[in-house]
A and B are shown apart, each in its own frame.
Chain A
Amino acid sequence: MSPSVTIDHVSKLYGARAALTEVSLHLAPGQCVALVGHNGAGKSTLIKLMLGLIRPSRGGVRLLGEDPAGAHAARLRRAVGYLPENLAFHPSLTGKETLDFYARLKGVSRAGNAGLLARVGLEAEAARRRVGTYSKGMRQRLGLAQALLGQPRVLFLDEPTTGLDPALRQVFYEIVQELRRAGVTVLLSSHALTELEGQTDRIIVMNRGVKIADGTLAGLRHLADLPVRIRALGAPAAMVADALGTLGQVSTDGHTVECRCAGGDKVAVLRRLTSLPLADLSVVEPSLDELYAHFLRQEQAA
């Protein structure tokens, strides 16, 4: 399948400041990709380039096989949904009117709008109110509804869950999973890493405009080769250290014994630990936050 989005050696300069440097990546249909990095890492710039809102200083951008800032850009954008980072609507329109307005701009029938509002959990009573009175969560729901108009093939969600309550976040990711199963390419940027675990196929880590890592969560874990922590309860630290030998380092807080070992030694360590008289055992894989921190450190050291 041809990629939905192709970024080919793209650099973007604002004056002398480089917002992006030599970034290349592909997004495939049905893929949910997380774009990770802290503020100013170039996440929003990358999304705006893909949307054709800005043009690259160097390199090429292709959205569904065409130039998103080119002559056919308007037609191309019928197949695209976008939820901007700093979402703003016209405060004098009601939620329903807002969605109607955007549906007409996209040339989509407004018949499905009520269903769309229900899908994102915006109640009919709320939809009749002016957007100026909305809470952040309600605005974000409306924002997601407009991004879903016309069944887009590519969806760009820029910091979609920042400042949302956990229940709404759940709704968000459920919808993203549905879309992904339907073959939609979903790119979502975030700096809330922990919540992305299990939600995305692939993670792209950005730092200061440079792509520093790109792969599946498992792939990135493998690449980073961060130590796995295994917590054991019920056996004294000395006994655990004895059993492990050189396979891992052992520390204790007096209650739980924590063993750190390389990812490749995990099974061997577990085998030795289970022969001990333990009350409990848990394995803590390196979290996304730790992975991110690792790739940042690596980048700074390079």
Chain B
Amino acid sequence: MSGTHTSIPLILAGKEIRDGLRNRWVVAATLLMATLALSLTFLGSVPTGTVGAGALDVVVVSLSSLTIFLVPLIALLLSFDAIVGEVDRGTMSLLLSYPVSRGQVVLGKFLGHLSLLGFATLVGYGAAGAALALTGADTGPEGWRAFAGLIGSSILLGAVFIALGYLVSAVVRDRGAAGGIAIGLWLVFVLVFDMALLGILVADQGKTVTVGLLNWLMLANPADAFRLFNLTGTDQVSQFAGMAGIAGQIHLGPVTLLAVLAGWTVLPLAAAALIFSRRQI
């Protein structure tokens, strides 16, 4: 056998990246994230002014909320079509007639899509951070650490929803249905889940829902794991976020939270690969 110089997943990832650059997807996503991040950064810093605790901590709080809304949406839009769309268009049967396993197809697409999303997040949020630094705002090393954590965990949250999107794409037979389910997932994890949780907490008045149970419930939603990671990460941030009270009660360290996010990525990804490998093309 003649040697392949690059591994199959990397070749597939490279193609996804080129596709993303060609169809202006990256440009659009990066611009969107940069615009929203910059607006939040400068509008957000108006009320606090330049005095008080680190301006970056405020930014981390506002960008965390932005991530929770935007990143899952972008990730799902990027991924819901990945398998069902290629099957539908007929490119998948040709691809699978090559020496490529279906697991490699899923992994390759994942690496490619994650790179695209990672680039958009890094540049978009990075622009906000750089702009803030240029204005000479109060930014300590602690603040930058929280900011780096925000960018990293945003990309990880993106990975979660890319994996979930693939799972939908591997299961569903119809592109339209896949799109609908993807939007449904976004609504559930980003809006409905927290509202339902809040409703339960209010109705329950702390009778049956203990702190331990609340911990587990929060882990059932990757968006909440992300929120906890960023809003309770440092003391300053948690004060700003109004999460200081919760942070004291929630017994989940940052490592646990990141592990939860990683689990939320790996499991759906593995399930997508498994289901796809059994699918009739």
List residues of chain A with CB under 8 Å of any chain B CB.
14, 48, 51, 53-55, 73-78, 80, 82, 84, 86-90, 92-93, 97, 101-102, 104-109, 146, 156
Contact = CB atoms under 8 A, between A and B. Distances in A.
A86 B101 CA distance: 21
Contacts of A75: 1, 99
Nearest to B16: A90
B6 A82 contact: no
- A-B CB proximity, top 7 nearest: A82-B97, A88-B90, A92-B22, A107-B4, A74-B99, A86-B90, A105-B98
Given A75-B1, A108-B2, A53 B281 contact: yes
Interface in B74-114: 89-91, 93-101
Interface of B: 1-6, 8, 11-12, 15, 18-19, 22-23, 89-91, 93-101, 280-281
A218 B270 CA distance: 53
Contacts of A88: 89-91, 94
Contacts of A84: 90, 93-94, 97
Contact of B100 (A54, A80, A105, A108): A105
Contacts of B281: 48, 53-54
B91 to A, nearest CB: 5
Contacts of B99: 74-78, 105-107
A109 B4 CA distance: 9
A77 B98 contact: yes
A87 B18 CA distance: 21
- Which label, helix, strand, loop or mixed, suits the secondary structure of the A interface? mixed
A108 B1 CA distance: 10
A175 B98 CA distance: 21
Contacts of A51: 93, 96-97
Contacts of B280: 14, 53-55
A101 B108 CA distance: 13
Contacts of A89: 91
Contacts of A93: 15, 18-19, 22
A77 B4 CA distance: 14
A92 B4 contact: no
8 contacts: A53-B93, A78-B1, A80-B97, A84-B90, A88-B94, A92-B19, A102-B98, A109-B2
Contacts of B18: 92-93, 97
A48 B11 contact: no
Contacts of B96: 51, 53
Nearest to B21: A92
A173 to B, nearest CB: 22
Q: A78, A88, A156: which has the most chain B beta carbons within 10 Å?
A: A88
Nearest to B104: A74
Contacts of A77: 97-100
A21 B175 CA distance: 31
Contacts of B90: 84, 86-88
A88 B89 CA distance: 6
B261 to A, nearest CB: 31
A104 B4 CA distance: 7
A292 B221 CA distance: 61
A82 B1 contact: no
A219 B90 CA distance: 36
Contacts of B98: 77, 102, 105-106
Contact of A82 (B8, B94, B101): B94
B91 A105 contact: no
Contacts of A108: 2
Contacts of B6: 104
Nearest to A53: B281
A78 B101 CA distance: 12
B97 A53 contact: yes
A101 B22 contact: no
A107 B1 contact: yes
Contacts of A86: 90
Contacts of B11: 101, 104-105
A166 to B, nearest CB: 25
Contacts of B101: 73-74
A90 B19 contact: yes
Given A101-B15, A105-B8, A90 B91 contact: yes
Contacts of A76: 99
A107 B3 contact: yes
B244 to A, nearest CB: 49
A86 B92 CA distance: 11
B71 to A, nearest CB: 24
Nearest to B94: A84
B16 to A, nearest CB: 10
Nearest to A74: B99
A250 B91 CA distance: 55
